[in-house]
Structure 1
């Protein structure tokens, strides 16, 4: 192991000592109880298994066979989750074949940021994560299960399922992905059409045709955004069947991997080293997830989500940990938006297995951790395949990458450091995804143009008033203000300005998409403006410096003037509008309770 990574891990362990000990004590207490059907009253048992076929009811009650929970994010609107429709039938069949039973314990909501981008529904997006965690807890609250299979893929769904599962940390758990859609219109071509539309060069018909050519079938979107970053992190944490992440939903291998997930979760309960999810996800596993994110230039959303995930396991991490790890972990992958390849090309070039093997060889991962698969993390440096007889097997990857423009060996990285940076200064703490930003744009110093909504920025762009060097400040977009929506809709116009040769950057207390692109964006600024954070004191024309090299985010205003400035506030109409309509009223309690972005934007502490 690199000594720097060991030092960071030890720091996290020391910081988390009391909270982790309390968490593990609860895990152990719950794990020592008799199985559900044995400790429950007869009426409870009858209710729990009333709908089960008679032979299965006999098996779970009288024969004390293991009973598995299935928690699913299935819906048939969203391409990533539509494939899950048939999974419960397959899982029940495999459980019966292995002498166990399985029940769909419950469903969780799954919304798509691609559908709600720039619309009011996006204000529910971040909070949907904690809603999913609560729905997972409700599904598992019947407390008759010996393990759980968690079916989810996309942005908030996987973190929500994981947070919920960690609150049932005494259970063995395996995540079951569905895979990416096949490659359509390239991400580069899609982005070009978006920029042309922002300039009025192509109409809505051409833009719609391009978008539908990019998003055209079942599976996750093929760029390396939050959804596919989720899958990379679960591989690094050892929570998948090894290599399950990026196999197409309709491939024969996918069904075999799903059946293997059933066998895997059952096997955990039979091992001498019993590792329910609460013990498996320790400080080293969290560091492995962080390292995998940094090594692949993954989604900035995970600087929020994995703070919350860690906290659910009693582990305390912050953005300084991410930043210090980024100095130790090389960038080994270039997948759109920090490259031109999509996840199918990434998989063909070696995929998660190649990256994880290289990180282990380079001392960047804790290889001695427990995983759901026997054999430990080394298994995740292989790729699954179907043998001639149709049986599932795993194969070693070649030493060389299949495409060196997509993945690299640890000895020849794209960059010696990771793809994310922490920014600090008198504008607070923020993060930036540098892996997708051209090096000549890593430092921007320009006058501020201040907006209190993304609609106001778009109106200024359309009016031509941003045709200059500019740092666009979009504030009142934090968790408390309006649920911290992604502001990906701002990428095309800002990219157009950058393409014209202007020095352009974005500073915001909101989020960008997991597909944060080539425009430098200081995001998640904390404290947020609604809480009196520094962005509330910025005025039009202030000179802002964003320096991703030194990690500076500052406004060049004299200290006395800066302190004397009264924080801006949202007008009553704007403040009310952000929480009204399309179900947003129901999330008012979450807006009041939510912690800062750096604290994981959690609503349950």
Structure 2
């Protein structure tokens, strides 16, 4: 199948734009790879320190002939998704020994849960944790004793941070190892209804708590299609997971077999063998375009609009919002997973999952088929699905048809003809809107503005019944340099209630809304941010605003707007408490949201 012309054009544009940075990156990786296996250059004293605690593996490590795997783990037992990683290192070491290799935990990285910090002060560290994770993984890998690597991470900032680190050490092969989603609990739409009723004051906190606990109930990734599961999809579309491994539940024989196979694959692609496949050769512009296609086809998290440019830049690939929009306009949305639909990721996986979707997109010329992956040359193996047959892991031909067309449809008969992500430009700046769950009649909202500097102020106004007409809620000074760009997900129930009351409402913010944003039109990541004197800082209560996802515009409809002096805000309260004082340098040096809001890249 010939490659879709838009996919080819966008890829060529990215390649041309990235030529200087990509060539410089590849030159650095070639130089590092040319030095040979890292351990050969360490002194005896260096090596003795590295192997002192390795017991029966000492001899194999000292001889330097067996591949040594570096494990970077985001394990902690507060995150349900990462709780499953607790015993992975021992499992990995056992498998490594069986295939003539060794494995060491190179280091751990922090993994915070946005679900815990949602609406709390700690959320102001969330986005910056991506860069901390990249730095921590870099420290882990800097010991220079690893021939290959396994990255254990799943959730929101963890995978992007690990990708930045893996790309920085791009001369070393890497396999990303998922943990899988928790089994299905209370349906996500039922949970959302309970949240909306609580926001409206119809039920008490005891009923809300019961619903939340029934939804988030066990080990594994949360089952809605937010940032964590979007990350898992990306790792498969971009060739860093084993095929079909993203959405297999934890603590099952198939999950354990896939983890063992990841170890074996990591060992087989080192420079010590004949199938050397470093990360630098996998994560090129084609891999990132494939990731963008997956994002649009699945209706994935808007957080990846921030993360993908930062991830790509680490391997010399420069992405722009225009790339997102052009691909969105050319890729059909084939999945309906909450919040875009009623199903969860377990239902999606059962309906055919990523294997079916990748096959469909390949057959329709919407993916680059000739990329490198951890499986070798070409994306075709990712059409297949893993099975345990007589106790042996094997990959069989993936499904040719969806088993539930209310969840997953073919590319020829999608839920929508486009991916549902819109770029917005106007005199308010540049931002994005996810419209895949927004009713078409709400894609354009024109109304008076109510301006807030904090989401808590919006909640107070709501409780005081101040929203009585169509309103565009502007929440500013929420960008990366103002306060770390926290998610404003707690606004969703409030705005949903107003919308259900018959009002036309929209949100405009330099903050973010995550993969859990839903049916309320939300112009997010608006840049330049208010704290940098961006246009949002000139908006006043009562200004007429237009948010138009059809035309792709974001404007204030008032004469003289551009001549106004931007307001300033006292942001000193954002600098202290719950660790915020440690991140002042991050707030001062962070880049624009349109470029990934990155600190270290």
Alpha-carbon distance in 2 for matches of 1:130, 1:164: 9
Alpha-carbon distance in 2 for matches of 1:343, 1:154: 14
Structure 2 CA distance for partners of 1:10 and 1:375, relative to 1, 3 Å: closer
Q: Tell me the SS of whatever aligns to 2:575.
A: coil
Alpha-carbon distance in 1 for matches of 2:146, 2:205: 51
Matched residue, 1:336 = 338
Alpha-carbon distance in 2 for matches of 1:232, 1:402: 19
Structure 2 unaligned segments of length 5 or more: list them.
none
> 1:354: how far off?
1.1
Matched residue, 2:287 = 285
Assess if the C-alpha contact under 8 Å between 2:40 and 2:64 holds in 1: no
Alpha-carbon distance in 1 for matches of 2:8, 2:106: 39
Structure 2 CA distance for partners of 1:271 and 1:318, relative to 1, 3 Å: farther
Assess if the C-alpha contact under 8 Å between 1:4 and 1:328 holds in 2: yes
Matched residue, 1:151 = 152
Alpha-carbon distance in 2 for matches of 1:101, 1:22: 33
Matched residue, 1:96 = 97
Alpha-carbon distance in 1 for matches of 2:521, 2:319: 25
| Aligned structure 1 segments of 4 or more residues deviating by more than 6 angstroms | none
Matched residue, 1:569 = 568
Larger deviation, residues 474-483 vs 435-444: 435-444
Alpha-carbon distance in 2 for matches of 1:153, 1:375: 25
Are 2:587 and 1:591 equivalent residues in the alignment?
Answer: yes
Assess if the C-alpha contact under 8 Å between 1:437 and 1:517 holds in 2: yes
Assess if the C-alpha contact under 8 Å between 2:18 and 2:316 holds in 1: yes
Matched residue, 1:447 = 448
> 1:375: how far off?
5.5
Alpha-carbon distance in 1 for matches of 2:274, 2:64: 22
Assess if the C-alpha contact under 8 Å between 2:39 and 2:64 holds in 1: no
Alpha-carbon distance in 1 for matches of 2:280, 2:594: 23
310, 313, 328: which one pairs with 1:311? Answer: 313
Q: What do residues 463-505 of structure 1 show as CA deviations (whole Å, max 9, x unaligned)?
A: 0001220000000000000000000000001000000110010
Q: What do residues 433-487 of structure 1 show as CA deviations (whole Å, max 9, x unaligned)?
A: 1101111111111110000111111110110001220000000000000000000
Matched residue, 1:437 = 438
Alpha-carbon distance in 2 for matches of 1:120, 1:153: 23
Alpha-carbon distance in 2 for matches of 1:434, 1:304: 17
Are 2:243 and 1:242 equivalent residues in the alignment?
Answer: yes
367, 378, 381: which one pairs with 1:379? Answer: 381
Are 2:111 and 1:115 equivalent residues in the alignment?
Answer: no
> 1:273: how far off?
5.2
543, 551, 575: which one pairs with 1:579? Answer: 575
Structure 2 CA distance for partners of 1:63 and 1:146, relative to 1, 3 Å: closer
Matched residue, 2:410 = 409
> 1:36: how far off?
2.5
The Cα RMSD (Å) is 1.0
> 1:330: how far off?
0.8
Matched residue, 2:15 = 13
Alpha-carbon distance in 2 for matches of 1:455, 1:45: 54
Assess if the C-alpha contact under 8 Å between 1:326 and 1:417 holds in 2: yes
> 1:146: how far off?
0.2
Assess if the C-alpha contact under 8 Å between 1:298 and 1:419 holds in 2: no
Structure 1 unaligned segments of length 5 or more: list them.
none
Alpha-carbon distance in 2 for matches of 1:161, 1:355: 25
The TM-score with structure 2 as length reference comes to 0.98
Alpha-carbon distance in 2 for matches of 1:113, 1:188: 20
Matched residue, 2:142 = 141
Matched residue, 2:199 = 198
Alpha-carbon distance in 1 for matches of 2:582, 2:377: 46
Pairing 1:482-493 to 2, within 5 Å after superposition: 482-493=483-494
Alpha-carbon distance in 1 for matches of 2:64, 2:474: 63
Matched residue, 2:530 = 529
Alpha-carbon distance in 1 for matches of 2:326, 2:274: 36
Alpha-carbon distance in 2 for matches of 1:155, 1:557: 38
Pairing 1:160-199 to 2, within 5 Å after superposition: 160-199=161-200
